[in-house]
Amino acid sequence: MEGVKNIISEVRSHFPALETSMNGRRLVYLDNAATTQKSREVLEFISGAMVNKNANVHRSMYALSDLATEAYEAAREKVRSFINAPERENIIFTSGTTASINLVASSFCQAFLKEGDAVLIEADSHHSNIVPWQLAAQRVGAFIKVLPIDGSGNLCTNLAESLLTPEVKIVALTQVSNVLGVENTIAEIIKIAHKKGIPVLVDGAQGVVHSEVDVQKMDCDFYAFSAHKIYGATGVGILYGKRDWLEKMPPYMGGGDMVETVTYQKTTYAPLPLKFEAGTPNFTGAASLLPALETAEYLRRGEVGDALKKEERAIVSFMMEKLSQIPDIEIYGTPENLEKKHPIFSFNVKGVNAGDMAQILDKMGVAVRSGLMCAEPLINSFGATSALRASFAPYNTLEEADYFVQCLQRALQMLK
Ligand code: PLP
């Protein structure tokens, strides 16, 4: 027990933000599904790179630019190995999960979606995995189909077979919903879709933080995630794509770096991955994925990984038990098997405004999200117009979960 405590306090010392105060209280940061705090290693890398590696990448014949390019490409290699992609050409840097999904929705659909076709999405999708598909569908007169979830927040995998009709040209799944925290059964759906020759994109914005991802094992065709949700910089995203699809898809944006030759009338494009990386990228932010993913590995490997996993499972059990004891509460994402539940807890208490709860919690130093959480159709399907969400990262503790519950109970006493 003492050993676990020591490991966790050592882990927390890597994240300077956790030692700060808010509203005169020690910060208890429970909005990790929105963005994670950065490790000292990432912070030091970024400030160092701004001095020692700050030159534009892939463009120049001088040593400083080579250093910047090497750091950028080293991060690409780190991402490749982190998600076990076969080649560096599979890894495209974007500005975030949103940009990665927009890239596929726009480029794939331009080539392969026509009038009368459909895109299958999930009922628990983030707006980033809904709106880009609507835009693409509207351009050609295609439509959106929705794979539902059941009352506990489990994806209705049994309906996939019947929903995957011949007009469906691509499936956009969510590995873990940012509201429900439930690990979706995407492997089964990918298998069914592939039997029918339909490619699958997976939104891994939350999934990559909480589970080991192997894109070859998962066999998804595209996988999207954001650096800032996994201890890295904001404004950086990753799109993994199978080479065959990426080769067949037209460029998404035009500009510098994505070209081979340009005339006033015609352009030939750079090979992968640069074909999809027009313009100056956030090269320092992207390069910081190397220390960020090393941080993620540190948090999930060896005795540190074992200790944090144990703490995470204890947090999930504790939170589900304590929250369910609150009168008039409705918790979203309550799978029977708690092994499927990641530490993301969204709920409403009847008669209490989620925003009011969040504001009172803030006064107690607890940072949580309230509102629609960019999942309006899902929140509306619960008959709600907002919810409160406490989302934990591996550096959060059971003690913080306990403090959160105590503060919530005090807030409810004030508001009820
Ligand atoms: N998908 C999911 C499941 C998310 O949780 C988020 C962000 O909260 C996104 C997509 C969008 O990520 P970003 O804003 O980093 O592009």
Give the residues surrounding ligand 1 with Cβ less than 6 Å away: 33-34, 96-98, 126, 128-129, 174, 178, 203, 205-206, 226, 374
Tell me: pLDDT of 126 over 90: yes
Distance, CA of 63 to CA of 105 (rounded, Å):
38
SS3 (DSSP) at 254: coil
pLDDT in tens, 309-330: 999 999 999 999 999 999 999 9
The CATH fold of domain 44-294: Aspartate Aminotransferase; domain 2 (3.40.640)
Q: State the sign of the Cα–Cα–Cα–Cα dihedral 267, 258, 218, 204.
A: negative
The pTM of the full predicted model, rounded to 2 decimals, is 0.98
**What number of other Cβ atoms are within 10 A of residue 74's Cβ?**
13
Confidence of residue 416 (pLDDT cuts 50, 70, 90): confident
**Cα–Cα–Cα angle for 193, 200, 312, nearest 5°?**
110
Residue with token string 């979830």: 149
pLDDT in tens, 189-238: 999 999 999 999 999 999 999 999 999 999 999 999 999 999 999 999 99
Which tokens in the block code for residue 379? 């929140």
CB 282 within 8 Å of CB 230:
no
Per-residue tokens: 264: 């006033």
- Atom of ligand 1 at shortest distance to CA of 128? 10
Pocket test for ligand 1, best of 36, 124, 128, 222 (most atoms within 8 A of CB): 128
Q: How far apart are CA 101 and CA 225, in angstroms?
A: 9
Tokens 């994670």, located at residue: 36
Instruction: Give, in order, the Cα–Cα distances in Å from 205 to each of 100, 346, 380.
Output: 11, 17, 22
Residue 96's alpha-carbon distances to 27, 29, 203, 235, in angstroms, are 26, 22, 11, 6
Domain extent listing, the chain: 2-30+303-415, 44-294
CA 261 to ligand 1 centroid distance, Å:
35
In this prediction, residue 1 carries a pLDDT of: 67
pLDDT tens for 257-270 read: 999 999 999 999 99
**With contact defined as beta carbons under 8 Å apart, do 222 and 241 qualify?**
yes
Give yes or no for a contact between 184 and 177, defined as CB atoms under 8 angstroms apart. yes
- Closest by Cα among 320, 317, 312 to 346: 320
Average pLDDT, the chain: 97
In this structure, which amino acid lies at residue 85? A
Portion of the chain with pLDDT greater than 90, in percent: 98
Element counts in the chain: helices (H) and strands (E) = 16, 17
The answer to whether 374 is a known catalytic residue is: yes
The residue whose CA is least distant from atom 4 of ligand 1 is: 205
State how far the alpha carbon of 343 is from the alpha carbons of 57, 118, 292, 412, in Å: 38, 33, 20, 22
C-alpha 62 to ligand 1 mean position (Å): 37
- Copy the structure tokens of residue 82: 């982190």
Catalytic residue among 109, 220, 374, 407: 374
pLDDT tens figures, 139-161: 999 999 999 999 999 999 999 99
Supply the pLDDT for residue 2: 76
Q: Indicate if the pLDDT at residue 66 is higher than 90.
A: yes
| Protein residue with least CA distance to atom 6, ligand 1 | 205
| Confidence (pLDDT) at 295 | 98
Ligand 1 centroid from CA 221, angstroms: 19
What's residue 51's pLDDT? 97
| Cα 128 to ligand 1 centre (Å) | 6
The CATH architecture of the domain made up of 2-30+303-415 is Alpha-Beta Complex (3.90)
Residue whose entry in the numeric block shows the structure tokens 């306090």: 9
DSSP single-letter state for residue 39: P
Are the beta carbons of 160 and 208 closer than 8 angstroms? no
Note the pLDDT tens digit of each residue in 2-38: 788 899 999 999 999 999 999 999 999 999 999 999 9
In the chain, what is the straight-line distance between the N-terminal and C-terminal CA atoms, in Å? Answer: 38
Distance of CA 346 to the CA centre of its chain: 17
| 344-374 pLDDT per residue, tens | 999 999 999 999 999 999 999 999 999 999 9
Report the atom number in ligand 1 closest to the C-alpha of 226: 15
In order of 87, 230, 232, the CA distances from 35 in angstroms are: 28, 8, 9
Mean pLDDT on 94-105: 98
Contact between residue 190 and residue 161 where contact means Cβ atoms under 8 Å apart: no
Q: Which band of pLDDT confidence, cut at 50, 70 and 90, is reported for residue 60?
A: confident
